[in-house]
């Protein structure tokens, strides 16, 4: 029905829709300018070109670091220092307004070596460092300093990395973590297979079998991601961490929005893209949710260049936001297609990623998309009050009845949970979302039992025991429940 020419002369849709649509013949003005970066763009005209519009003193990045100011945007407006503080400002705002980190927390930062988690780690450290200084300087020592740990999940059993690269990558990461002190931080390098058992060989074997049982490329990649979260949860629970920090940025979320859409996961999408995801035992927070990958890349490049320019030799310095490229895996299958698609769209319009995330941000989140309130800690009620409150209707604020056993996404009550063909009385057969049923679970029923046996206990337990909120609920009302023998069934 619709037309399909490649060239656009009419531009009919471009100007007409969302406020952040930007004409592509004015590349200097990007969507960023309209976002809350605390800088008004009106001062642009009265500035001399090349001077930072915030401090009006230093030269803009495009002048001082022409090699990295490829994308325009903030590089044209800010100097390196103001750019950095702008980014940190977004991080800090996300943390405080969503009550992500409280003084009594132990925060585990998931570190992949990529720019997102590198910046997340850096900013969390800086926040902790400042907190420590305040603590040392204060007389009554009332506010404790939150703890920080770092975790890297080694998925090489599924996606192999040349062992030289792997070893040097891990060494670099260790150096980075040790340089981010004081306060010092534990660094965990945990292989995925350890979610099975402490016995590495048995775990490796089971994991390999599980991975090879998934024929769909995208399904396999997604399964690895779900296992990654389980691994992080396990490390956090076993080592006393109370929050998990991910370096997920706007760009990554934009991709996830489209990924979930094309996989039929529209219902659960809003659960995955908020600042806070507390459906897990250890809540997961996304403090870089408002930062674009381009900004994070620029920040890493900025500091790296500063390092090189300094005296030409290579030395480790606290400012070095080096990323570990050898450990990065490109996405494949549908996820890879979407990554290229979003990149293309972003090139065509630099505010596209933000628009996608903003649109998806208008979807109604779930009740677990905020930090659970802790009533007994009086000193921190202020931060509780500051937390974003979602206006959920009564039926929307009820916890979902069930979650997918593979990806933990909330299941819509009507029918998406039903299995097409299994009818052997197993209650757990029902609890997978249609996307996981299609791309992860085996097609024929006879392989299904075997597949379930390969799942780590933390996954299959979801099915057996039902979801957590039901348990909690039951706990609360058990005194009022009649025992089974009384109701005659």
Partner 1 sequence: MASEVVDATAPKPRGGRFCTVCNERRAALKRPKTLEQICKECFYAVFEDEIHRVIVDNHLFKPGERIAIGASGGKDSTVLAYVLSELNIRHGYGLDLFLLSIDEGITGYRDDSLETVKRNEIQYGLPLKVVSYKELYGWTMDEIVKLIGLKNNCTFCGVFRRQALDRGAALLKVDKLVTGHNADDIAETVLLNILRGDIARLSRCTSITTGEDGPIPRCKPFKYTYEKEILRSWALNLLFTYAYFKRLDYFSTECIYSPNAYRGFAREFIKDLERIRPRAILDIIKSGEDFRISTSTKMPEQGNCERCGYISSQKWCKACVLLEGLNRGLPKLGIGRTRGLNNERNKDMKETNGTKALQSKQFGTLDF
| Least distance in angstroms from the C-beta of 368 to partner 1 | 14
| Least distance in angstroms from the C-beta of 55 to partner 1 | 32
Residue 186's DSSP bridge partners are 149
Enter the tokens of residue 126. 């800086």
- According to CB under 8 A, which one of 334, 407, 417, 463 is a site residue for partner 1? 334
Q: Give phi and psi for 458, each to the nearest 5.
A: -60, -25
Q: Is 41 in the site for partner 1 (CB under 8 A)?
A: no
Site string for partner 1, 218-247 (x = CB under 8 A): x-----------------------------
Q: Is 124 in the site for partner 1 (CB under 8 A)?
A: no
CA distance 63 to 72: 12
Q: Is 137 in the site for partner 1 (CB under 8 A)?
A: no
Exposure string of 297-314, with b = 16+ CB inside 10 Å and e = fewer, is bbbbbbbbebbeeeeeee
CA distance 85 to 20: 24
Distance between start and end Cα atoms, the chain: 58
DSSP state of 241: -
Give the closest residue to 260 by CA, choosing from 356, 344, 343: 356
* Binding residues for partner 1 restricted to 69-88, rule: CB under 8 A: none
CA distance 433 to 411: 6
Q: Is 412 in the site for partner 1 (CB under 8 A)?
A: yes
| Least distance in angstroms from the C-beta of 293 to partner 1 | 17
CA distance 405 to 453: 13
Peptide bond into 183 cis (omega under 30): yes
Q: Is 289 in the site for partner 1 (CB under 8 A)?
A: no
Site string for partner 1, 258-287 (x = CB under 8 A): x-xxxxxxxx-xx-----------------
DSSP state of 38: S
Q: Is 359 in the site for partner 1 (CB under 8 A)?
A: yes
Instruction: Note the Cα 345 to chain centre separation in Å.
Output: 21
> In which residue are the tokens 């429940």 written?
481
Q: 370, 388 in Cβ contact below 8 A?
A: yes
Beta carbon nearer to partner 1, 385 or 393: 393
Give the closest residue to 32 by CA, choosing from 358, 286, 356, 354: 354
Q: Is 67 in the site for partner 1 (CB under 8 A)?
A: no
Q: Which residues contact 78 (CB under 8 A, 6 or more apart)?
A: 52, 53, 54, 60, 61, 86
- The CA distances from residue 44 to 26, 29, 34, 82, in Å, are 14, 11, 13, 15
Q: Which residues contact 416 (CB under 8 A, 6 or more apart)?
A: 267, 433, 434
Q: Is 343 in the site for partner 1 (CB under 8 A)?
A: no
Q: With contacts defined by CB under 8 A, name the span among 7-15, 93-101, 104-112, 468-476 that binds partner 1.
A: 7-15
- According to CB under 8 A, which one of 15, 25, 140, 479 is a site residue for partner 1? 15
Give the closest residue to 303 by CA, choosing from 171, 119, 148: 119
CA distance 276 to 274: 5
CA distance 472 to 474: 5
3-state secondary structure of 304: helix
| Least distance in angstroms from the C-beta of 406 to partner 1 | 16
Beta carbon nearer to partner 1, 439 or 467: 439
Q: With contacts defined by CB under 8 A, name the span among 10-18, 73-81, 300-308, 318-326 that binds partner 1.
A: 10-18
Q: Is 360 in the site for partner 1 (CB under 8 A)?
A: yes
CA distance 357 to 346: 13
By CB under 8 A, how many residues form the interface with partner 1?
57
Beta carbon nearer to partner 1, 246 or 339: 339
Beta carbon nearer to partner 1, 264 or 445: 264
- According to CB under 8 A, which one of 215, 239, 364, 447 is a site residue for partner 1? 364
- According to CB under 8 A, which one of 16, 45, 444, 479 is a site residue for partner 1? 16
Site string for partner 1, 418-447 (x = CB under 8 A): ----------------xx--x---------
Q: Is 32 in the site for partner 1 (CB under 8 A)?
A: no
Q: Is 1 in the site for partner 1 (CB under 8 A)?
A: yes
| Least distance in angstroms from the C-beta of 434 to partner 1 | 8
Q: Is 2 in the site for partner 1 (CB under 8 A)?
A: yes
CA distance 256 to 359: 13
| Least distance in angstroms from the C-beta of 266 to partner 1 | 3
Under the rule (CB under 8 A), what is the footprint of partner 1?
1-21, 218, 257-258, 260-267, 269-270, 333-334, 337, 341, 344-345, 348, 352, 355-356, 358-360, 362-365, 393, 396, 412, 434-435, 438
């Amino acid at each position: 029905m619709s037309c399909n020419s490649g060239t656009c002369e009419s531009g009919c849709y471009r100007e007409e829709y969302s406020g952040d649509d930007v004409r592509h013949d004015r590349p200097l003005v990007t969507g960023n300018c309209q976002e809350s970066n605390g800088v008004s763009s009106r001062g642009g005209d009265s500035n001399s070109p090349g001077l930072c519009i915030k401090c009006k003193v230093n030269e803009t990045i495009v002048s001082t670091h022409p090699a990295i100011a490829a994308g325009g945007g903030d590089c044209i407006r800010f100097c390196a220092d103001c750019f950095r503080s702008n980014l940190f400002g977004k991080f800090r705002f996300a943390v405080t307004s969503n009550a992500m980190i409280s003084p009594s927390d132990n925060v585990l930062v998931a570190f992949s070596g990529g720019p997102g988690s590198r910046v997340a780690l850096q900013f969390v450290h800086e926040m902790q460092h400042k907190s420590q200084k305040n603590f040392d300087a204060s007389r009554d020592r009332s506010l404790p300093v939150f703890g920080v740990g770092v975790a890297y999940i080694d998925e090489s059993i599924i996606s192999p990395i040349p062992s030289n690269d792997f070893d040097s990558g891990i060494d670099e990461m260790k150096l980075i973590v040790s340089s981010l002190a004081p306060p010092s931080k534990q660094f965990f390098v945990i292989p995925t297979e350890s979610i099975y058992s402490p016995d590495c060989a048995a775990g490796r074997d089971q994991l390999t079998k599980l991975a090879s049982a998934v024929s769909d490329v995208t399904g396999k990649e997604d399964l690895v991601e779900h296992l990654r979260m389980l691994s992080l949860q396990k490390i956090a629970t076993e080592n006393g961490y109370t929050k998990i920090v991910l370096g997920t940025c706007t760009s990554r979320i934009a991709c996830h929005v489209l990924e979930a859409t094309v996989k039929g996961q529209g219902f659960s999408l809003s659960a995955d893209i908020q600042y806070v995801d507390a459906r897990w035992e250890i809540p997961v927070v996304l403090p870089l949710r408002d930062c674009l990958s381009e900004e994070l890349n620029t920040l890493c490049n900025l500091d790296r260049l500063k390092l090189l320019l300094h005296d030409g030799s290579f030395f480790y310095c606290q400012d070095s936001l080096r990323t570990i490229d050898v450990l990065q895996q490109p996405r494949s299958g549908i996820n890879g297609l979407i990554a290229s698609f979003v990149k293309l769209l972003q090139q065509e319009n630099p505010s596209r990623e933000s628009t996608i995330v903003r649109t998806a941000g208008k979807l109604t989140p779930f009740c677990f998309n905020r930090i659970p309130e802790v009533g007994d800690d009086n000193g921190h009620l202020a931060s509780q009050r500051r937390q974003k409150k979602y206006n959920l209707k009564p039926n929307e604020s009820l916890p979902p009845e069930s979650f997918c056993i593979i990806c933990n996404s909330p299941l819509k009550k009507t029918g998406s949970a039903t299995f097409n063909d299994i009818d052997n009385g197993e209650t757990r057969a029902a609890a997978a979302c249609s996307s996981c049923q299609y791309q992860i679970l085996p097609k024929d029923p006879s392989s299904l039992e075997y597949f379930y046996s390969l799942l780590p206990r933390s996954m299959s337990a979801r099915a057996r025991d039902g979801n957590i909120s039901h348990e909690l609920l039951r706990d609360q009302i058990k005194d009022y429940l009649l025992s089974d023998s009384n109701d005659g069934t």
